[in-house]
Amino acid sequence: MTVALSVSKEYLVHTGDAVSVLLPDGKTTTAGHVRDISRVAQSGSGQDNSGPTVNVTITLDHPEESGNLDQAPVNVNITDASVHGVLAVPINALVALSEGGDAVEVVTGGTRHLVPVQTGLFSDTMVEVSGPGIAEGMLVEVPSS
């Protein structure tokens, strides 16, 4: 399959990167890899006119999972880095400190206090955190939406 990737995001994608593809049924996800990244940019088109793009060719690890369609719209998520066994909190739990950096508001008993953290990788909704004052099992305050 081919994905039109914005030239402004091309530096994030590399041949061999793992991808997950949400198939047209909207429920099934299958794995794949970036096979090729075009070296030719094309002008943006369509309603959003998102600017120039390059074609990224994706190869599915299990093509039989894609069904019988030759062409169909899909959503592709490209993973350029991953970590395992880390502490993570919802992104909206981060508090910007006036002196710079980030913290989370930890709830202990009936009290709350800010604990500075270093951030790592971000996902859609979570962020990796570490630091001397943060540990697994702590209750972190998250603003209601």
Q: How many structural domains does the chain have? A: 2
* The domain boundary residue, chosen from 28, 46, 79: 79
63: CATH: 2.40.30
pTM over 0.75: no
* The domain boundary residue, chosen from 79, 102, 129: 79
Asked whether residue 145 is domain-assigned, the answer is no
Which DSSP symbol is given to 62?
A: S
Residues 72 and 98 in one domain: no
Digit-by-digit pLDDT tens for the chain (145 residues) are 899 999 988 888 999 998 999 988 888 889 999 999 999 998 866 555 578 999 999 999 998 888 787 888 888 888 777 888 899 999 999 999 999 999 999 999 889 999 999 999 988 789 999 999 999 999 999 987 6
Residues 8 and 72 in one domain: yes
Residue 50: give the domain boundaries.
Answer: 2-79
- Rounded Cα distance, 123 and 55, in Å: 24
End-to-end CA distance of the chain: 37
Residues 75 and 8 in one domain: yes
